[in-house]
Amino acid sequence: MKDSILNSSNLFLKLSLIFLLLLLSVSGIYFYASFQIAEKHFEEKNQKLNADIAGHIASELKPFLNGTLKEQAADEIMHSMMAVNPSIEVYLLDANGKILNYVAPYKKVVLDSVSLDPIENFIANYKDEAILGDDPRQKGRQKVFSAKKIEEEGKTLGYIYVILASEEYDSANEQLFGSYILKLGSVYGLITILAAMLIGVLAIWLITKNLSSTIQTVKRFQQGEMSARIKINSGGEISRLAEAFNEMADTIVGNIENLKSMENLRRELVGNVSHDLRTPLAVIHGFIETLIIKQDQLTEEEKTKYLSRALTGTERLKKLVEELFELSKLEAKQIKPSKEAFFINELMDDIAQKYTLLVEEKKIKISAEGHDKPFMVYADISLIERVLQNLIDNAIKFTPENGQIKLKINEKAQEVEIQVTDTGNGIPQDQVPFVFDRYHIGDKRISLDINSTGLGLAIVKRILEIHNTSINLQSKIGQGTTFSFSLPQHSV
């Protein structure tokens, strides 16, 4: 119990730690992505709001006169624009992108020229999406800009190139923006993380709590409490695990019960076999011993009589052993039916002919009904022959003189029903459920055959089971007994 609680606690701590690390990682990615998206959005809005600023400067500034740069006039106007909007940097470019003049804080410019591709793209295609150009004050960095082409008589003389966020403005803006994001993240982000942690840890606790109960139930089952089952409260993986365990536990308990039943059957079988083998062996031993001891005192007729009885005992013993082997193979499912199509009428007529002499000696009449129409069935012919022989043997044993045995065939839907009926004394109702058990020879009917092994009907039941059918029994005291079974009908 303590081990399961400790294991559950350790699992709770591990899952909580993993969840916390994942939560922090996702939060970090979220804040970084939010910062990047917000920064890009700011750039797009800044460029959209100031997209025409280079055009306004170009309309005021006439930096070229007859293709020649007027530096003093350009400086004055560009400084005026800087005074109006100190966040911008203004650059005058020639037709190849070389920086001719500029107004930038501290005169800090590291590039001699800028790429014209983004400038031409801006002038020709700008709509709403941000376009970035070279930052002359920082090599390798790009910023949003505004640009305007300067033309004279259809000839491109240069460009007005305005960086919309100077380096100093950028630095101050980043500090303010970072401070804003930090404040926003520290308040709402912390609240979100704490709420997510609380919900997550609670969920993990509920899961591990159910898992702890599951572990305790498994431990109880392991310690021998076969009735221990996991209580299923709701859906989910833990519930499916509980259902699987409960089904497994039921299967194990069922197998244990089957093993106990098999053990009882084994003991019963050993006892019955020992008894049945001992009886004929004792008879054989007795007659042979008598022959040896009194061989000088017995007449030839008595010797023949004793030897005949000993031989009868060996035949009964042989039959018992053969049927035991046959029944054992059937119960172990070592015999597989080799099915084929055949006429059941012909088989029943052949078997009835074999019993003609025997039933005449016992003054019993055997007849067949419903054999005018041929019926073809699909089954193992040798096993079905064995079934019919056992049923007729059983009928002959319990049918008195002047009695009758009927073999009948009935057509039922897609099946053929075979019946074996005798006119014996019938079977008491309290004995009917046990007729097909091993060694059931105490059904209170008077058997006329001392060689009965009590295995014939058990063999019949097992053979029909491997044919996926069953044997049925109807009996009335003083009127007789009917055994019947069905086989699938085969189309000709």
Rounded CA gap, 433 and 424, in Å? 18
pLDDT at position 405: 92
Contact 87, 166 (CB under 8 A): yes
Contact 200, 92 (CB under 8 A): no
Decide: helix, strand or coil at residue 408. Answer: strand
Phi, psi of 144 (to 5 degrees): -75, 150
CA angle 286, 292, 296 (to 5 degrees): 130
DSSP string, 232-274: P-S-SHHHHHHHHHHHHHHHHHHHHHHHHHHHHHHHHHHHHHH
User: Token pair 């704490």 is at which residue?
Assistant: 194
Rounded CA gap, 42 and 87, in Å? 15
Contact 460, 436 (CB under 8 A): yes
pLDDT at position 449: 45
> Across 336-375, where does the E strand assignment appear?
340-343, 365-369
pLDDT at position 22: 73
Contact 166, 104 (CB under 8 A): yes
Q: CA distances (Å), 108 to each of 137, 387, 417, in order?
A: 6, 112, 111
Rounded CA gap, 457 and 434, in Å? 10
Contact 363, 401 (CB under 8 A): yes
Per-residue pLDDT of the chain (492 residues; tens, 9 = 90+): 445 444 555 666 776 777 777 777 777 776 677 767 777 777 788 878 888 888 887 777 666 666 566 666 556 666 666 565 667 888 888 889 898 888 766 567 888 899 999 999 988 888 878 889 998 888 888 888 989 888 877 788 889 888 887 655 555 455 555 555 555 555 666 677 777 777 777 776 666 666 667 778 888 888 888 888 877 776 666 677 788 888 888 888 888 887 777 676 667 666 666 666 777 788 788 888 888 888 788 888 888 888 888 888 888 788 777 777 777 777 777 778 899 999 998 899 888 888 888 888 888 998 887 767 888 999 999 999 999 999 998 899 889 888 999 999 988 888 999 999 999 888 888 888 888 876 554 444 434 344 556 678 888 999 999 899 999 999 998 889 999 999 998 876
Quick one: which of 100, 106, 111 has its CA closest to 134? 111
Torsion, Cα 18 22 27 29, to 10 degrees, reads 150
